[in-house]
Structure 1
Amino acid sequence: MSRLLLASVFASRVLGHGHIRNVVVNGVSYQGWDINSFPYMEDPPLVGSWGTINTGGGFPVNGYSDPDIICHIDAMNGEGSIPVAAGDSISLQWTVWPETHHGPVLDYLANCGSSCQTVDKTTLEFFKISEVGLIDDSTVPGYWGTDELIENDSAWLVQIPEDIAPGNYVLRHELIALHGAHTEGEAQNYMQCINLQISGSGSAQPEGVLGTELYTATDPGILVDIYNPLTYTIPGPSLIAGATPVAQATSAITATGTAIVPGVTSA
């Protein structure tokens, strides 16, 4: 199905809870997937971000076993990749995120073999490299990872593990809004995927989990009432060894240039 046809079929769904507008690595800014224009273009710019026709609707639309949970609705492989080195920190620059949408911020990687541009997303096995949940529970509904993102000028910093083996990877970045999560099926997951070409001399190849097996609707971090005192359990698999579990300040990374990577080499 062409991007133009997708746009015409789903244009009414584009509500906009926010999206990643650019990715900054070592001061270089890479264009993200522009939900407001790219779906309507016959030949959109080459970017590492996976394409989707909707970042407005929260999941689970059809449950957590539906492939749309992997990289969003009808997500299309990014046609480029962004070069990073193991140990680099990546700043994900969001558009505005609603202040009422409190919840955790999670980051995963999945090795996509020889090509992230052609990999079947349902075969990707994700391992968690970062998570920030309930930071301060002194007030209700508390201060969450998403609140920290807002305070960081809608930016989020995630570090690529220093010992990760070089190769082609998909970064799965996710915000989970829990304002309605006291009712089963009403947690809202907002995920976006970005192709990375990681360089380095590491050898770690962590085991991962299929995207359709990351969560269930009754996980304690998914089915939860944030408007009552609680001890929060972040959903999904445990962090891998060597992961950075706490977000860092994002002020050190600024967008000083723009570059688009045309593709990747074989892993």
Structure 2
Amino acid sequence: MKSNMFFKSLLALAAATGAAAHGGVLSYNLGGTTYNGFVPYNTPTGQSSIQRQWATYNPITTTTDPDLACNNPGTTTDPQLSATVTAGSSVTAFWNNPWPHTIGPVMVYMANCNGDCSSATPSSLQWFKIDEAGLLSGTVGNGYWGMGKLVADNSSWTSTIPAALPSGNYMIRHELLAIHSGADQPQFYPECAQLTVTGGGSGTPGPTVVFPGGYSATDPSIIIDVYGNNEQNVTTYTIPGPAVWS
């Protein structure tokens, strides 16, 4: 389902105050089909998308924010859509281009809605991780990060829906954690979309977490100061959250 909402979102991005510094997912591609994202700063009236609503390009900055699961407000569109995707196929999220941050990890989660996703509350779901990329090379203070790769790939990120994932209704949650601001203010950029997975397997996804609750405010990977003297020589970084389901 192609939509001119995507192009309107680009205009909104250019007009929004402070938009040059932040942003979010503007569209998705599943199996060659493009789905528009929700357009923040525009009225939600009449918008339909597979993506849950989000209101601002600004990041979430605390691990206890009630909107950490699917951004603010994380509610449904009218009508709320879901995209059908086959287990084992790929999904690509397109962020505003160019994405302005290159320091920090990329994380992708999913959660079983246990029924109709439009009736699900994101903060009550059990989220499991299907993809991640942290420090890819170099040092924490001067290295190549998952977000740097995202920017190099046309501000997009492609993940595979696990082939073993049982068929059903799921939310997919893309999240960037920008840590360029130092230890005082991590920047979380979560976005959620609704999927119907078909042709699935018999796996048991896990481990799972809830949001908020999946991250700790004292996690050294979240409150890290990448500009500190010690970080100039550190070549490892532990990505927050659970391990990727394999």
- The normalised TM-score by structure 2 is 0.84
Change (3 A) 1:30 1:84: same
CA-based RMSD: 2.0
Distance 1:135 1:87 in 2: 24
Identity %: 33
DSSP-derived class of the 2:142 partner? coil
Shift of 1:122: 2.1
From 38, 41, 46, the equivalent of 1:43 is 46
- Aligned partner of 2:55 among 53, 56, 67: 53
Which residue identity lines up with residue 29 of structure 1 in the other structure?
A: T
Partner of 1:24: 29
With normalisation by structure 1, the TM-score equals 0.78
Which secondary structure state, in structure 1, belongs to the residue aligned with residue 177 of structure 2?
strand
- Higher relative contact order (Cα pairs below 8 Å, separated by 6+ residues): 1
Structure 1 residue 163: deviation in Å? 0.4
Q: Distance in 1 between matches of 2:200 and 2:100?
A: 41
Note the 1:4-153 alignment, pairs <5 A: 15-16=18-19, 17-36=22-41, 39-44=42-47, 46-54=48-56, 56-60=57-61, 63-78=62-77, 79-137=80-138, 140-153=141-154
Residue-by-residue CA offset, 1:123-147 (whole Å, 9 max, x unaligned): 1110011000011115843111111
CA distance in 1, matches of 2:158, 2:89: 10
Give unmatched runs, 5+ long, in structure 1.
1-12, 242-267
Alpha carbons 2:99, 2:155 under 8 Å: kept: no
Stretches of structure 2 lacking an aligned partner (at least 5 in a row) = 1-15
Supply the distance in 2 between the matched residues of 1:194 and 1:224 (Cα, whole angstroms). 29
What is the CA–CA distance in structure 1 between the aligned matches of 2:68 and 2:241, rounded to whole Å?
A: 13
Distance in 2 between residues matched to 1:105 and 1:163, nearest whole Å: 22
Structure 1 residue 111 displacement after superposition: 0.3
Distance in 2 separating the partners of 1:42 and 1:106: 30
Aligned pairs, how many? 222
Cα distance in structure 2, aligned partners of 1:107 and 1:75: 16
Task: Check conservation: 2:53, 2:72, Cα contact below 8 A.
Answer: no
- Relative distance call for 1:14 and 1:205 in structure 2 (3 A) is farther
